[in-house]
Amino acid sequence: MKKFLSFHRGLKSRHVSFIALGGIIGSSFFLGTGYVLNQVGPFAFIAYALGGLITFLTMACLAELSVAVPIHGSFVRYASKFISPSWGCGVGWSYWINWVVYIPSECIAAGILMHSFVPELPVYLWSVIFGILITVINLSDVKAFGEMEFWLSLTKMIILFGFSLLAILIFFGLIGSQKPEIIGTKYLITHKGIFPNGFAVLFINMVVLIANFQGSEIIGLSAAESEDPKKNIPRALKKVTYRLILLYFIPIFLLGLIFPWEKANLSGSVFAVALHSYGLIHIAHVFSFLIIAGAISCANSGLYAATRSLHTLSLMGMAPPFLKKVDKNGVPIVTSLITLGVVWMMLIISFFLSAHKLYANLLALSGFTGSISWISICWSQLRYRKKLKAKMQNDMSLEFKIKGFPYITLFAIWIQIICLLIVLFNPDLRSSFYFGVPALVVPILIYKYLTLKNKKIIT
């Protein structure tokens, strides 16, 4: 029998935290926020607050499971163990699809941003260049990957803190080309109201917004390569949740204060556009250029998650056995090459389509399939607690547990289900439902068919 090497435990606590942040803060935030602000209106920060709440609750469920049952494969294995193997198969493949469509969207986003600097080169060519860079990084040693992701994610944090500081100075009229004056609430409260397109738009576009938060679950997948999973995972989850408040809610609130929501779109980073509108042209260019690091970082983290989830499916017998192979650097080489192959196929398709339209649809599909994984995390935690109760075991023995169970868990599950169903009312994003549901259901049906077939052969 062929021997398969195991993963290297080369990721430190700071690596785990920043890999998760890398998966969260990508172009979907820097670029996609323009779409969300334009759709929701000046109070878009409320939509991000709701998204942050969902993130916190889901990650709390994952932290409890990661400490109580520290197993390789994280929520994919939890789904199989506590819900059903067929559901675990569906979630695993759906999650893989989530990232293989999201990674190209990051490359396209970086291409859109670079095209604004060098318009002589088309968006798709820039996307290919970034695809090559991501390919090289992810085939390197896991420790080198973690170190690079740490610095890329740190760059994104500096960008957001820098924007927040500049936005405050602009708000008080201390900088900018306009006459020195306090802006007040003239952009926040408009003649069309705080929700100019209606309150329901908060939920109609939630599938895109949730895509902005996805990536925090990568912490669970990185447990197998963490030096001390039981200690590092809960600590990293807490840090990521708190940082999300500082890096999402505050910048979005400040953006709504200084920039009119009607002018927000997908043509570039809305943060850089806002700074440009106040005459801070050179700073805006620096921001746009540094945001490219965000796209690269997020694509790196996404590829990390995709290859590890596919490797887990192989270990569980839900994908071909040759996908188990791990090279001498601790990289699941076969799953990496296959995932990269699909990513490159998506990038080639972008050559024939509108980059902006393709980006929005890929983002929505990623948000839909990613939400399925989050629902599965909460559902697994719910089933795990019920199994503890059935075995007459006291949940007080848990080293880490969420408060308000089961109400908090049920709320997290149903609010996400509602958001997925409401996407049907958005004609621009409806395709994510049509592609997202089969991404979950088809692997489940195939697994059930093969399992039934094998049972008949045995009997």
User: Mind listing the pLDDT tens digit for each residue in 294-328?
Assistant: 677 777 777 877 888 888 888 888 988 888 888 77
Token pair, residue 59, equals: 């990650």
The single residue listed with the structure tokens 């958005």 is 426
Q: Is residue 17 part of a domain?
A: yes
Between the ranges 9-13, 390-394, 413-417, where is the mean pLDDT highest? Answer: 413-417
State the pTM of this model.
0.81
Residue 210 and residue 111: Cα distance in Å, rounded? 23
Contact call for residues 154 and 167 (beta carbons, < 8 A): no
Q: Using alpha carbons only, what angle is made at residue 297 by residues 440 and 11, rounded to the nearest 5 degrees?
A: 85
Give the pLDDT band (50/70/90) at residue 125: confident
Residue 405 and residue 61: Cα distance in Å, rounded? 10
Q: Is residue 409 part of a domain?
A: yes
What pLDDT, in 10s, does the model give residues 23-54? 456 666 776 788 788 888 888 888 888 888 88
Q: Is residue 59 part of a domain?
A: yes
Q: Who contacts 394 (Cβ-Cβ below 8 Å, separation ≥6)?
A: 388
Number of domain units in the chain: 1
Q: Using alpha carbons only, what angle is made at residue 408 by residues 157 and 221, rounded to the nearest 5 degrees?
A: 50
The continuous run of DSSP H or E covering 174 comes out as none
Residue 378 and residue 414: Cα distance in Å, rounded? 10
Q: Is residue 206 part of a domain?
A: yes
Taking CA atoms, 366 is separated from 240, 314, 371, in Å, by: 20, 22, 8
What pLDDT, in 10s, does the model give residues 200-253? 777 777 777 777 777 777 665 555 455 566 666 667 666 666 666 677 788 889
Residue-range definition of the domain harbouring residue 54 = 13-458
Q: Is residue 1 part of a domain?
A: no
Residue 102 and residue 96: Cα distance in Å, rounded? 10
Q: Is residue 2 part of a domain?
A: no
Cβ neighbours, 10 Å, residue 231: 12
Backbone phi, then psi, for 151, in 5-degree steps? -75, -35
Instruction: For residue 137, give the CATH number of its domain.
Output: 1.20.1740.10
Q: Is residue 216 part of a domain?
A: yes
pLDDT of residue 326: 81
pLDDT of residue 179: 62
